[in-house]
Copies of this chain bind each other. A is one copy, B any other.
Amino acid sequence: MSLSVYGTEIDSRLLIGTALYPSPAIMQQAVIASGAQVMTLSLKRQAPAEQGGQMIWQYLQQLADEHQIKLLPNTAGCKTANEAVTLAHMSRELFQTNWLKLEVIGDDYNLQPDPIELLKATKALIDDGFQILPYCTDDLVLCQRLYDLGCEVIMPWASPIGTGKGLMNPYNLATIRSRLPQATLIVDAGIGKPSDAVQALELGYDGVLLNSAVALASDPVAMAKAFSYAMQAGELAQQAGIMPERQTAQPSTPTLDTPFWHQT
C-alpha cells in the first residue's frame, strides 16, 4: 500500500510541486491538504546568493520538517547534462539528499525531456551516488535504458508540462508498465484533473507527480484534497481488480426465479 522510492516507503502516491501558487500560504495549505509526502522544488527558482531564494528554501525546508515531507530537488530549467549535473551537486549540498528529480529539457515549445542528455546526466549522477528520479517521455526503450543504468524510479510524462491534457498515450504508458514490472513508475507532467491521476494508478502506475493541476485550480487547497482522494481511489481500484471491458451490454438485472447468489 505504499510507494517505494529507493527503499524508502512513502505512504502517499502523490508527489507535489511547489511553484505557481497564488501565495506561499496557499502553497503550504495545499501541500498539507494533498497528503503528499514528497515535495519537489527547483534550485533555479532563485539564485542561491540572493536572499529571497534562501528564504524560500528555508520556508520549504521548514514545511517539510514540520510535516514529515521529503524534499525532492529538481533540475527544472536545465538544458544540458552538464548544467543539470552542476545544479544537482549544488542541490545535494544545500538540501542534504541524494534524491533528484532529473529534468533536462530538450525543446522550448513542448518542454519535453531530451532523451540523450537525460541518459548522459543520469549516468554521471548515479556514478556520483545520486538516486535519480528521471523525468522522461513515454518511450519504452528510453525507460529501459534508464532502468538499466540503475534508476529504480522512472517518471514518464502524461502530456507536456502545464497543458493539463492528461494521459495522451495510455497505450505507451501501459506498455512501459508491463515491460518494467520491477520499476517504480510515476506519471510526471500533464495531469490536469483528478480523473487523470486515478487513470494512471488504474494502469498500474505507482504514483503521480503534479504541480499545475493543483496550483492553477481556482481553489488550490480544495483541489489538493481532491487529488488526495483520487490517489486512494486509484490505488484501491488497481488492487481490487477492474472489471473487464465488454463490447455488448450485459444486464445487471438478474434472471427471474434464479436464486440471487447464482445470478450473473
Contact = CB atoms under 8 A, between A and B. Distances in A.
Contacts of A215: 252
Contacts of A119: 116
B194 A243 contact: no
Interface in A135-156: 137, 139-142, 144-145
A202 B254 CA distance: 31
A144 B76 CA distance: 21
Given A248-B160, A250-B163, A234 B195 contact: yes
Contact of A20 (B113, B168, B259, B263): B263
Contacts of A195: 195-196, 198-199, 202, 233-234, 237
A244 interface: yes
Given A76-B251, A218-B241, 18 more contacts: A19-B254, A45-B253, A46-B256, A76-B252, A109-B140, A109-B175, A115-B141, A161-B252, A164-B242, A194-B237, A198-B233, A217-B240, A218-B240, A225-B240, A226-B232, A226-B235, A229-B236, A230-B233
